Structure formats: C-alpha cells, structure tokens
C-alpha cells in the first residue's frame, strides 16, 4: 500500500509539473510575436512619416510665399505641391499598414505592456493620418491659387492665408500632439525594456 501512495504522489507531482510547464510555455509565448508586430509597425510608421518632415519644409515655404504675397513664387512651387500630394497618398497607405501591425498586438495574450505601447503608437499613427489629410487639403487649396494665377485671375495669397489659418493651426496642434505621444511611447518602451 505504501508503494501505491508513492506512485500516486509521483503521479500528482508529474501532473503538477506538466501543468506548470504548459502554463510557462504560454507565458511570454506572445511576447516575441508582440515585439515583432510592434517593430514592424514602427518601421512602417517611420517610413511613412519621412513625408511629414518634407511637408513641414514645404508648408513653411508656402506660408512664407503667401505672407509675402509672392504669386510667382507660389507658381514656381507647383511641381513640389503636386509631388507632395502623391507622397501623402503613399504615406497614408503605409500608415494604414502600420496601424494593422499595431492592431495585431491587441489580439495577443499576456503582453499588456506591448499592448499599451502599440496603442500609443497607433494613436500617433492615426493622428499622423489626420495631419497628412489636412496637409493634403492645404496643398490642394494652394494648388487652386496657382491654377488661378496661371489662368490670369487675380490672386491674393495673403488674403487666402486668413482662410487657411485655422487649418494651419490645427495642423500645428496635431503635430505637437503626435510629438508628445511618440515621446511618451518611447519613454514607456525604455522604462519597460520592451526592445
């Protein structure tokens, strides 16, 4: 009878050990996958936002030309405006892919820190899309001025500046929000040793 007790004890111990091993196999199993999705999202995000830096430069130049009432200067920027519009479309599509990678993290288990990071990055990407859409609207507006000027119609860029000032202010606010979110996400990743 004593031997049966030992067998039962060994069997219970073996089952308990197997349960622990199975449970541990699940622990962190999604961590590598979450990290992979976050890094893929980050790479796409970074690729998409290079246009943002170019857009900032063009926006500043267009605003300078509008304030100076420099119609010939605006006309000379027509190709740059058209090029930015195409770049914005590519960036928005790439940001869609980044958001899809971050959303994949939300479906994983046991990776709460990665989920939080992915949520922050996704929020930044969605705001980036809003900023790009607004930039695209501004580019279209300025392109309309250029077309009118080339057609010989009277154009007053400084009056037009008043019409777009709300959009410019909204764009600036979005850019500040994005910077804050990205800084918080970066600090969160560092503090939690995510990468």
CATH match for 30-191 among 1.10.238, 1.20.120, 1.10.8, 3.10.20 = 1.20.120
pLDDT in tens, the chain (195 residues): 445 554 443 433 334 343 333 333 344 569 999 999 999 999 999 999 887 677 778 778 887 888 787 888 888 888 888 888 888 889 999 999 999 999 999 999 999 999 999 999 999 999 999 999 988 888 888 888 888 888 888 887 777 777 778 888 898 899 999 999 999 999 999 999 999
Residue 101 is predicted with a pLDDT of 98
102-107 long-range contacts, CB within 8 A, separation 24+: 102/37, 102/38, 102/41, 104/37, 105/34, 105/37, 105/38, 105/41
What are the boundaries of each domain within the chain? 30-191
Residue where the block lists tokens 């705001």: 127
- Residue 66: how many CB atoms within 10 A of its CB? 23
Query: pTM for this one?
Result: 0.76
Residue 29 is predicted with a pLDDT of 61
Residue 192 is predicted with a pLDDT of 96
User: How far is the C-alpha of 161 from the C-alpha of 122, rounded, in Å?
Assistant: 32
User: How far is the C-alpha of 186 from the C-alpha of 155, rounded, in Å?
Assistant: 45
Residue 171 is predicted with a pLDDT of 87
CB 86 within 8 A of CB 136: no
Residue 194 is predicted with a pLDDT of 96
């Amino acid at each position: 009878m004593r031997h049966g007790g030992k067998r039962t004890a060994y069997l219970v111990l073996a089952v308990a050990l197997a349960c622990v091993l199975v449970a541990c196999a699940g622990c962190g199993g999604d961590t590598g996958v979450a990290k992979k999705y976050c890094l893929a999202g980050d790479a796409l995000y970074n690729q998409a936002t290079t246009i943002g830096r170019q857009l900032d430069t063009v926006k500043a130049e267009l605003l300078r030309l509008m304030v100076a009432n420099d119609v010939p200067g605006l006309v000379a920027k027509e190709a740059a405006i058209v090029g930015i519009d195409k770049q914005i479309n590519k960036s928005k599509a790439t940001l869609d892919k980044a958001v899809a990678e971050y959303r994949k993290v939300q479906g994983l288990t046991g990776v709460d820190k990665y989920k939080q990071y992915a949520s922050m990055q996704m929020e930044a990407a969605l705001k980036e899309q809003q900023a790009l859409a607004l930039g695209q609207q501004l580019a279209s507006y300025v392109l309309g001025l250029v077309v009118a000027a080339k057609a010989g119609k009277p154009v007053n860029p400084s009056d037009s500046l008043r019409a777009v000032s709300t959009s410019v202010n909204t764009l600036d606010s979005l850019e500040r929000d994005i910077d804050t979110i990205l800084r918080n996400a970066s600090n969160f990743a560092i503090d939690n040793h995510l990468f």
